Amino acid sequence: MGEVAGHLAAYCLRRGVEPQEVREREALLAEFTGELDKIGVERHWPAPAGY
């Protein structure tokens, strides 16, 4: 989670937007999550597996 927070802060500084705008504006959110996917940041909890 801290990794995403750091990327969000950097993204907002680059784009000149506030973090809540990224969540509220679909185009910004899509661009931000696309960047996370591109660099390999996991955005979902892994599915539980058997032991």
Contact 32, 11 (CB under 8 A): yes
- Per residue in 1-50, pLDDT (tens digit) is 688 999 999 999 999 999 999 999 999 999 999 999 999 998 888 788 87
Q: What is the pTM of this model?
A: 0.81
11-16: which pairs have CB atoms within 8 A and are 24 or more residues apart?
11/35
